[in-house]
Structure 1
Amino acid sequence: MIQTVQTTAFTDQKPGTSGLRKKVRIFAQPHYAENFIQSVFDSLADFAGETLVIGGDGRYLNREVIQTAIRMAAANGFGTVLVGRGGILSTPAASHMIRLHKAYGGLILSASHNPGGPDEDFGIKYNIGNGGPAPEAITDAIYARTKTIDRYLTLDTPDVDLDRDGETLVGTTRVRVVDPVAAYADLMETLFDFPAIRAMMASGTRLSFDAMHAVTGPYATEILERRLGAAPGTVVNGTPLPDFGGHHPDPNLVHAHELHARMMAPDAPDFGAASDGDGDRNLIIGRNIFVTPSDSLALLAANAHLAPAYAKGLAGIARSMPTSQAADRVAAALGIPAYETPTGWKFFGTLLDAGLATICGEESAGTGSDHVREKDGLWAVLLWLNILAVRRQSMVEIVHDHWSLFGRNYYARHDYEGVPTAGADALMAALRAQLDTLPGTTVEGLTVTAADDFAYTDPTDGSVSLKQGVRILFDGGSRIVFRLSGTGTEGATLRLYLERYEPNDGKLDHSVAEALAPLITAAEKLASIKTHTGRTEPDVIT
């Protein structure tokens, strides 16, 4: 029998760029998760009898909230609920499952690259029927409902056995527990030249993949070791753990330092990679070379034709505004459109659905294509392996060939995490106040050619997104971008993006710090970062 539970609205349930993320202690409050899930359902229409996909990255509280979501989905009238075995579904695998089963949508329980554990982070994101994150019209409706909700619907039923494949009834709703890996792995086989990659493995190529005790462990083990023949032990930290083994599951050089050290050692493997908490981000490292996410996007786009799925060419390339302009140069060379969007994969989804873009990427280590509607860490790894198998060159050779052809975009992101919100807001307000007066001025020998607060008009539906980040552009193609991130759970995260373009003049091997030094000084002079944040240096540099 359906139960109607009276509740009181919470004031802090505004979804960010990737759903609602809060500390576990916040989500563990009575009615908190229930309120948000019911607000999602109340913001949707015509889903009676339809299919809902539910899964997560295995972090602390994942199983408990899945049981809650199953009961509420049944009480609200969904006909079928598909759940990954063990409560596990990587974000790209969830997107594929939604699309494969023509589901109405899905609930993805994850805080992505944020740490997990009883004192760490949890999150809930709703994805629509195309497999992608809900657009702003839906997330705005969800937030509006969270402010007025006074009841939610559920059932008083036993927990579903999440560890055994099969079907059971919860009320009148069919709940199917399914293999979380097989369908996704099958999809990857349709995109890439697995025989060529297997032959490369058999010839002695060595890989190292750090799953960071997060969701991609089972996926990487199945695909890399079982289907492609990489040596046993190629996948390290491959068992998903509720606290990610006490580590931060963000695939950057700070948190994946062991992988970086392994790849810089004299006996390094040929190719190294890592993925994050929910499997949608990637880190790419070759022997003795780190490939920035921005460069990786450009290199993947330039070489995508070597993989069967992209042999006929790309419709277009899309990148988030803070991502370096390296991919734009590839698009120009290929004669295809380049799209610059706000941060958030939902902005890529409309381009992919419309067939305007094929490959998309973000500087925050997310790349993907039109095979799903999320960024996809293992997809990027497999496309890199396909390129290596066909070109038969080292990572260093492939990257240097690219720079010699297109020039190099020196690039870095400086994160100031947990900054007091008032200080971060004041910094951005002060920057916006001087935008009109900056063009024509000179800072650290750099002449400002343009300055704006990035706004985006979606070419498919005309929707407008304002105040997406302050851009300061300099003569010669360099730029600085300031943006507040929506992925943290406490305070504000200020992100400073620094980019300097160097054409191929034989000077493409500066250290990144050396190349960007004038921009770093200019950013401090323009924004008074130390004054507003109280920080003398960033927490993370990527």
Structure 2
Amino acid sequence: MKTVSTTPYNDQKPGTSGLRKKVPVFQQPNYAENFIQSIFDSLEGFEGKTLVIGGDGRYYNREVIQKALKMAAASGFGKVMVGKGGILSTPAASHVIRKYGAFGGIVLSASHNPGGPTEDFGIKYNIGNGGPAPEKITDAIFARTKVIDSYKIVDADDVDLDAIGSVDLAGMTVEIIDPVADYADLMETLFDFSAIRALIGSGFRVVIDSMSAVTGPYAVEILEKRLGAPQGSVRNAEPLPDFGHHHPDPNLVHAKELYDDVMSADGPDFGAASDGDGDRNMVVGKGMFVTPSDSLAVIAANATLAPGYAGGIAGIARSMPTSAAADRVAEKLGIGMYETPTGWKFFGNLLDAGKATVCGEESFGTGSNHVREKDGLWAVLFWLNIIAARKEGVKDIITKHWAEFGRNYYSRHDYEEVDTDAANGLMANLRDKLATLPGQRFGALTVSTADDFAYNDPVDGSVSKNQGIRVLFEGGSRVVFRLSGTGTSGATLRVYVERYEPDAARHGIETQEALADLIAVADEIAEIKARTGRDAPTVIT
């Protein structure tokens, strides 16, 4: 073991999902080492315990794993479990931590952000429940990064990440595991694989686009090998360091080819896509794109159709910007409904306490208490289970759901890589207006309330403030403004627009048309064009 002197970097504050920067930033001398050591320095009681390490296979993944292994050995961990090839999807990493009782895990990913030599990389720490570290830990990590003056590492050869089995690294055991098997086995306990297999065997065509990212091996094992879908049903199945130049974000912009295929006359009956690290999903059926908000609501309403949830669900949790579609399901089922800030870590306490069973975010993330991360393939399998049980297609399931619960017209407008000062100025100006907005009329819309969302955790009592600005209108419509913490360049302004429509006769309006007046009011209130110089969003979902 050797101790290496270092100096702090001033930009290592974790966001909602760890530290994300461009690869050249992480390649600076000691940059990754500083952050990893700061993680270890912020933890207690891990001597001799097990750590899980894996990532989405993006560029620089293998190099950082080798650093982390040698630093874990120097810091006193007894064992590290690593996915073969350095691969572990984020939900699979969560499951491995939980199944084997690991102390925690290091997940190397920048989620849905592009990969490559000049693109994005990320490191985050997950705690023993399998979920992202809570703010008290990420705050401690950041505080440590600002004063760190050395890190510990063993001087040893690199570990062969491609050979399953155990090796010794300076007295610490490194176990290279099959990254897929444990996760696939878990899915088989939750869903009716026999019914899904019969659905596929009947000629129901399913395709999954893994976007040359981490879920390829998982989807091939589950969909093609265990469920009997024809070979090639999983597209872009090989994880590549640059994701094959894809932007691995499963939405209508970056997965348009899949969407167009499913919507074509002779295309598949069902399509799905996953993101870089496997925790997000897009679901498309013949004639129907499913919004993430509606997906959460439909899964919750039909949860008992899956064997793993046959006893019912305890409650539903959603992030504040996610539409209120799931709220109406919770109300009818008579179960708890929890509105949290954006960031999966806020769901962990609710899941651990048994208050919620399923949860979701509008940013294409859905999950349950089976792990402590959102889970893309889980959501896809849940949909296939529902289709197999109801013997109805996606479009029929969605339209019948709207007829029963009403439709929440909903859209997110992203303004990416906005000048950071301009974005911060826009939000500051909005906060200054909050007190004067209630009662103001904008055309036919009247503001009922306006606030900066704060969350009081019902489990541990912690308070999280400044989580997004909400402008609510009479009749149930609303607009939400947030700056995202997942990008690495400039700022991303997210604007969420929602209108509730109970009348089934009005459920066939095109979404942007149904929301047009709210979109215009959002720009007027926030002065988006004037302050950012943008005439239109970068992405609309």
Confirm or deny a common fold (TM above 0.5): yes
Does residue 415 (structure 1) correspond to residue 414 (structure 2)? The answer is yes
Name the amino acid aligned to 1:141. A
* RMSD, aligned CA: 0.5
Residue 332 of structure 1: aligned partner:
331
Residue 464 of structure 2: aligned partner:
465
**Aligned ranges 1:21-420 → 2 under 5 Å:** 21-420=20-419
Unaligned runs of 5+ in 2: none
Say if 1:213 and 1:245, in contact at 8 Å, map to a contact too: yes
Partners of 1:199 and 1:415 lie apart in 2 by 40
Say if 1:26 and 1:32, in contact at 8 Å, map to a contact too: yes
Partners of 1:338 and 1:492 lie apart in 2 by 31
State the SS of the aligned residue for 2:175: strand
Say if 2:418 and 2:493, in contact at 8 Å, map to a contact too: yes
> 1:382-426: per-residue Cα shift (whole Å, max 9, x none)?
000000000001111100000000110011100011111110111
Partners of 2:315 and 2:289 lie apart in 1 by 26
Name the amino acid aligned to 1:339. Y
Say if 2:402 and 2:504, in contact at 8 Å, map to a contact too: no
Name the amino acid aligned to 1:106. G
Say if 1:444 and 1:521, in contact at 8 Å, map to a contact too: no
Name the amino acid aligned to 1:5. V
State the SS of the aligned residue for 1:209: strand
Name the amino acid aligned to 2:381. L
State the SS of the aligned residue for 2:505: coil
Paired residues, what number? 541
Partners of 1:373 and 1:395 lie apart in 2 by 27
Partners of 1:267 and 1:289 lie apart in 2 by 15
Name the amino acid aligned to 2:521. A
Residue 482 of structure 1: aligned partner:
481
State the SS of the aligned residue for 1:156: coil
State the SS of the aligned residue for 2:525: helix
Partners of 1:204 and 1:359 lie apart in 2 by 30
State the SS of the aligned residue for 2:25: helix
Offset of 1:504 from its aligned partner? 2.6
Partners of 1:202 and 1:444 lie apart in 2 by 54
Deviates more, 1:442-451 or 1:377-386: 442-451
State the SS of the aligned residue for 2:515: helix
State the SS of the aligned residue for 1:374: coil
Partners of 1:446 and 1:159 lie apart in 2 by 63
Residue 432 of structure 2: aligned partner:
433
State the SS of the aligned residue for 2:466: coil
How high is the TM-score relative to the length of structure 2? 1.00
Does residue 534 (structure 1) correspond to residue 533 (structure 2)? The answer is yes
Offset of 1:440 from its aligned partner? 1.1
Partners of 1:437 and 1:528 lie apart in 2 by 16
Question: Which runs of structure 1 show a deviation greater than 2 angstroms over 4 or more consecutive aligned residues?
Answer: none
State the SS of the aligned residue for 1:123: strand
Say if 1:405 and 1:504, in contact at 8 Å, map to a contact too: no
Say if 1:320 and 1:362, in contact at 8 Å, map to a contact too: yes
Say if 1:443 and 1:522, in contact at 8 Å, map to a contact too: yes
Name the amino acid aligned to 1:315. A
How high is the TM-score relative to the length of structure 1? 0.99
Name the amino acid aligned to 1:233. G
State the SS of the aligned residue for 2:11: coil
Partners of 1:505 and 1:494 lie apart in 2 by 32
Partners of 1:109 and 1:63 lie apart in 2 by 10
Name the amino acid aligned to 2:147. T
Residue 503 of structure 1: aligned partner:
502
Offset of 1:505 from its aligned partner? 4.0
Offset of 1:475 from its aligned partner? 1.1
Offset of 1:444 from its aligned partner? 2.8
Partners of 1:77 and 1:312 lie apart in 2 by 43
Name the amino acid aligned to 1:195. S
Partners of 1:441 and 1:414 lie apart in 2 by 23
State the SS of the aligned residue for 1:506: helix
